[in-house]
Amino acid sequence: QVQLVESGGGLVQAGGSLRLSCAASGRTFSSYSMGWFRQAPGKEREFVAVIKWTDSITYYTDSVKGRFTISRDNAKRTVYLQMNSLKPEDTAVYYCAARIPFSGSYGNAGTYNYWGQGTQVTVSS
């Protein structure tokens, strides 16, 4: 079992930065690939980024490449999402998620086993 708790959301002006954190419980944190998703009002949950368990390779959705960086600290059982050059269209509830390796497409929310409660990110223009 893994429990995930996000923090770090808030209100920021366009062009600003935020760093989201996701603290995980459970002894096997380092065995999971960790992802970030987001959901804006009236829209489906969208893949943002993932960091693999096996080799810490990262993948991003095209709209955040070059602006967002996902990282993990296995000793602290925490995954981070550094968000720079934020845009109003980044406004959403951001969710942290964990999945066992080799579960299929990283962009498919259905392949993730555990989810946090979400943290609101609002970017004003």
Residue 31 vs residue 73, higher pLDDT: 73
42 vs 22: CA distance, rounded Å: 24
Return the amino acid letter for 42.
G
φ and ψ of 70, to 5 deg: -100, 140
83: tokens are: 């968000």
- Cβ contact 95:116 at 8 Å: yes
User: What local confidence, expressed as pLDDT, does residue 38 receive?
Assistant: 98
> What value, to the nearest 5°, has the Cα angle with vertex 121 and ends 117 and 122?
145
User: What local confidence, expressed as pLDDT, does residue 101 receive?
Assistant: 80
Per residue in 64-111, pLDDT (tens digit) is 999 999 999 988 999 999 999 999 999 999 999 999 887 889 999 999
- Cβ contact 51:58 at 8 Å: yes
